[in-house]
Structure 1
Amino acid sequence: MTAGDPAPRAQDGLEAFAALAAHQLGEAVALMRGAASVLENERVRIGPGGQDALRALNAGGERAQRYVDDLLDVVRASSAVEGPTSADLDSALDAAAAELEPFLARERVQLRREPLPRAALDAREAQRLFTHLLRSALAAGASRVLLAGGTGDDGVTVEMLDDGTPAADGSRPFEPFARPRGRGPLIGAGVSLPVCRRIVERRGGTIAMATREDGATLVTIRLASAG
């Protein structure tokens, strides 16, 4: 790839736009939440119709905040890597599952897991990786998710298997905003799998998705072992 290749410039432009959009959306969300806070104090006076509007305002604010968080994660996942790292993947998965517990409980998702090894990620990267993996399964309407991993001579392998809608033939699941697996209950900016790819690849790893014969989706991640 040459210095004049338009691809790096386009990528830099996308990240700059994501940072700007996150900032502008963040300010709008703050205004929405401020208005919702005022209405909360007037809940009795605004009556049933006003309370319905308040619920809609809160729901819209939560959804907009997810878009802001997604865009910020795109920017963070593109930043420079800092030194050797070691993350406890079990702890990272615990934190991600706790973050998404309201959605997992509401959709009655069965999350099963086997012990996970340590890997060459930092703790925040590892948590965001699992958060976005689980969000991709939720967005696909999964009701069962299994995570497992192991360590071998060539590093660490992590696998996630879910029963959500498979990616459409010919789709590019790791491209931003593609939403290749349908629109389940947790809608965001459509960057969960692309953020996963960036987190993994910036550490020299690989990530792939395949649809099994039974229709289940398997995401396989390979990373360096923790130093």
Structure 2
Amino acid sequence: MKPKSPTDSQESLARDIGLVVRIGAVPSILEMICDETGMGFAAVARVTDETWMACAVRDNLSFGLTPGGKLDLRTTLCFESRAARAPIVIENFAQDATYCNHHTPAIYNLQSYISVPIILPNGDYFGNLCAIDPRPAKVSDTRVVRMFEVFAHLIGMQIENEQRQWSTEAQLLGERETADLREQFIAVLGHDLRNPLAAVDATAELLIRNPNGCDLPTLGKRLKTTSARMARLIDDVMDFARGRLGSGIPVTIRPVPDLSSVFSVAIDELRTVHPTRLVRTDIAIQTTVNCDAARLQQLVSNLVGNAITHGSAGAPVVVDACVRGSELIMSVTNQGEPIAPHLLTKIFEPYWRPPSSGPRGGLGLGLYICKKIVEAHGGTLDASSSAELGTRFTARIPAD
């Protein structure tokens, strides 16, 4: 299948409609065209190599097109007008030597037609200013054609002005969002690195003051735990940078025959770190799964760690994983205070942390990274939360 041109994407076409809508004079122009020519339908159309789409419409015929409505491009004469970059003017299809047997009037029951290109000052082809009617109309008069050309020129100039303004506004918004993210990033990273650095400093101070009386194994463990925490923070920062600023979190997909053991290793590590917390598992993955094992291990570790941190200490964390059909389904559930619905929509945003999060709550990047890992595998990650069923994160990933 031929890839869709960027100009034909839904986002681009919606923006083009918005550009025309922002030109306040367009409705009056279309009304004047209908009044001056006696034709019942007039429109500003976005015309690309693949698409004919109405951006603004004056419809006195009940033709049925509204802004955003599309016609098959090759059933329209705008397609030919675009190719020639020239107007097409027909007063009566039945009597026109060139177009009397054309498919367009038969498809749309037309007799009169006029279409003039809308070309922006920079030379880009935007579309056409056109009018149609099921009755013949006097549209080949020089004055009428000139009116269309002047209006098309004015619309083209205004569209380019709106494009420049939209581009400036989008750039300013992007810079503002980047500045906000940068401020949040620096503030949160500085805050969360302070604690492990303080622990390293305190341990070093003990060694300096009393090197012979120190419990070296205990201090070594403390340093190892602290350095591991700092490493996790750095890893989260790197993954965030890849996911937010690059092409997404990289994954290496290959057949993994023992994904159950991959998950178990991550869960056992968390059991060691949190010996007082109960983590129950029901992992039944008996087939080979095509995935990035290290990234899915990171996914499980983050989700289970999140459940331990925010779940009720007296209730188990439950991990379920299986392959159903061609889909790997993995969920992590914890009990405790449910997440409010208005917060549930924010949990996958970077830097988001619940209001109850303590000073050791991390950078607030864990769930964001989890979602990016799942999306990199072509899957989805959803969350639900209630007092009865607990808080559950469910990942669904293609297993083939």
TM-score of the aligned structures, taking structure 2 as reference length: 0.43
2:373 paired with 1:199? yes
Partner of 1:150: 322
2:241 paired with 1:69? no
- How far 1:153 sits from its partner (Å)? 2.6
The SS at the match of 1:42 is helix
The SS at the match of 2:298 is helix
d(CA) in 2 for partners of 1:218 and 1:205? 17
Q: Which amino acid is the alignment partner of residue 130 of structure 1?
A: V
- How far 1:161 sits from its partner (Å)? 1.4
| Larger RCO (CA under 8 A, 6+ residues apart) | 1
- How far 1:192 sits from its partner (Å)? 1.4
- How far 1:72 sits from its partner (Å)? 2.7
Q: Which amino acid is the alignment partner of residue 69 of structure 1?
A: D
Q: Which runs of 5+ in 2 are unaligned?
A: 1-10, 13-166
- C-alpha offsets along residues 165-208 of structure 1, whole Å, 9 cap, x if unaligned? 32122011111122237326962111111111000011110011
- How far 1:127 sits from its partner (Å)? 1.3
The SS at the match of 2:320 is strand
Q: Confirm or deny: 8 A CA contact 1:92 1:127 kept in the other structure.
A: yes
Distance 1:72 1:92, change over 3 A: farther
Q: Which amino acid is the alignment partner of residue 162 of structure 1?
A: N
Q: Confirm or deny: 8 A CA contact 1:89 1:116 kept in the other structure.
A: no
Q: Which amino acid is the alignment partner of residue 94 of structure 1?
A: S
2:308 paired with 1:138? yes
**What percentage of residue pairs aligned between the two structures are identical?**
23
- How far 1:64 sits from its partner (Å)? 6.5
Q: Which has the larger radius of gyration?
A: 2
The SS at the match of 1:94 is helix
Partner of 2:267: 97
The SS at the match of 2:237 is helix
d(CA) in 2 for partners of 1:18 and 1:151? 37
- C-alpha offsets along residues 33-69 of structure 1, whole Å, 9 cap, x if unaligned? 4x55643433527999xxxxx9xx9699569714333
Partner of 1:110: 278
- How far 1:95 sits from its partner (Å)? 2.7
Distance 1:166 1:47, change over 3 A: farther
- RMSD over aligned CA atoms reads 4.3
Q: Confirm or deny: 8 A CA contact 1:150 1:157 kept in the other structure.
A: yes
Q: Confirm or deny: 8 A CA contact 2:271 2:279 kept in the other structure.
A: no
Distance 1:185 1:147, change over 3 A: farther
Distance 1:134 1:82, change over 3 A: closer
Partner of 2:254: 85
Mean CA deviation greater in 164-173 or 83-92: 83-92
Q: Confirm or deny: 8 A CA contact 1:120 1:203 kept in the other structure.
A: no
Q: Confirm or deny: 8 A CA contact 1:144 1:162 kept in the other structure.
A: yes
Q: Which amino acid is the alignment partner of residue 200 of structure 1?
A: V
The SS at the match of 1:204 is coil
- C-alpha offsets along residues 96-128 of structure 1, whole Å, 9 cap, x if unaligned? 2243334421xx211111124254321210111
Count how many residue pairs are aligned between Structure 1 and Structure 2: 211
d(CA) in 2 for partners of 1:31 and 1:216? 35
Q: Confirm or deny: 8 A CA contact 2:239 2:369 kept in the other structure.
A: yes
Q: 123, 126, 144: which is aligned to 2:293?
A: 123
